[in-house]
Amino acid sequence: MARSGRDKVKFRRRREGKTNYYKRRIMVISGKPRLVVRFSNRYVVAQVVVSAPQGDFTVAEASSRELVKKFGWLGGSGNTPAAYLVGLLIGYRALSRGIKLAILDVGLHRVTKGGRLFAVVKGAVDAGLEVPHDEEVLPSEDRISGEHIAQYAANLKQSNPELYKVRFSKYLAKGLEPENISKHFEEVKSKIMEKYAKSEAKAEEGS
């Protein structure tokens, strides 16, 4: 609340830590679609958003919640492998709606080299969506596939079985041994790629 006529109250979403209006203005002026990536406590969400005088319009959307419900993902819904798969989904969906390029909108997230944010970017790029980025910020293939999780789980299972059961209780409850997460990742990735490959084939047949 302003204390005097000279005080300027920041916009509500800026006060709540949801929007950086300076960065947003630059992206909107560019006229390019935005790849918006956000993280909650449990899920990864990605959207391709187009700005217009009337407001923002979501052209495509994907979340790690879908990975569980539609593709049988048994791993964590907020980790690096899940982020990559969400990126793959949003990339394919953007292309199916005629979007070939999008600029990354990180919001107020802290940008970390090799982090989940860039796992989403890697997935979108692998799907064929052009997202300007520096190759050095992308996570390694081992992290994307969850190999680091598998190795940690295998070592923990051998050294401390009880702690292993506690740390990976959610994986085990779903029937996934965490040391096999890389194989499971490849299976889910294949399902996504096959689905959109079939969609593209049908579109070509109908054209």
The tens digit of pLDDT for each residue in 18-38 reads 445 445 555 555 568 999 999
Name which of 49-53, 94-98, 99-103, 162-166 the model is least confident about.
49-53
Q: Using one digit for the tens of pLDDT, what is the confidence trace for 85-113? A: 999 999 999 999 999 999 998 876 677 89
d(CA 160, CA 140): 28
Give the pLDDT confidence score for residue 59 in this predicted structure. 95
Give the pLDDT confidence score for residue 56 in this predicted structure. 79
More confidently predicted of 164 and 19: 164
Give percent of the chain with pLDDT exceeding 70.
Answer: 80
Mean pLDDT for the stretch of residues 201-205: 65
Residue 37 dihedral angles phi and psi, to the nearest 5°: -120, 130
Give the pLDDT confidence score for residue 122 in this predicted structure. 98
More confidently predicted of 120 and 26: 120
Neighbours of 108 (CB within 10 A): 13
pTM of the entire predicted model: 0.85
- Compute the C-alpha angle 117/122/127, nearest 5°: 130
Give the pLDDT confidence score for residue 110 in this predicted structure. 73
CA 70 to chain centre: 16
Q: Average pLDDT over the chain, rounded to whole? A: 86
Give which of 81, 102, 104 is closest to 188, Cα–Cα: 81
Neighbours of 158 (CB within 10 A): 9
In sequence order, which residues have a C-beta less than 8 Å from that of residue 191 and are 6 or more positions away? 71, 72
d(CA 79, CA 82): 5
More confidently predicted of 13 and 189: 189
Give the pLDDT confidence score for residue 15 in this predicted structure. 45
Do 84 and 144 meet the contact criterion of CB atoms below 8 Å apart? yes
Give the pLDDT confidence score for residue 118 in this predicted structure. 96
Q: What is the 3-state secondary structure (H, E, C) of the chain?
A: CCCCCCCCCCCHHHHCCCCCHHHHHHHHHHCCCEEEEEECCCCEEEEEEEEECCEEEEEEEEEHHHHHHHHCCCCCCCCHHHHHHHHHHHHHHHHHCCCCECEEECCCCCCCCCCHHHHHHHHHHHHCCECCCCHHHCCCHHHHHCHHHHHHHHHHHHHCHHHHHHHCHHHHHCCCCHHHHHHHHHHHHHHHHHHHHHHHHHHHHHC
Mean pLDDT for the stretch of residues 130-145: 96
Per-residue burial over 176-186, b if 16 or more Cβ lie within 10 Å, else e, is bbbbbbbebbe
Give the pLDDT confidence score for residue 49 in this predicted structure. 94
Give the pLDDT confidence score for residue 143 in this predicted structure. 97
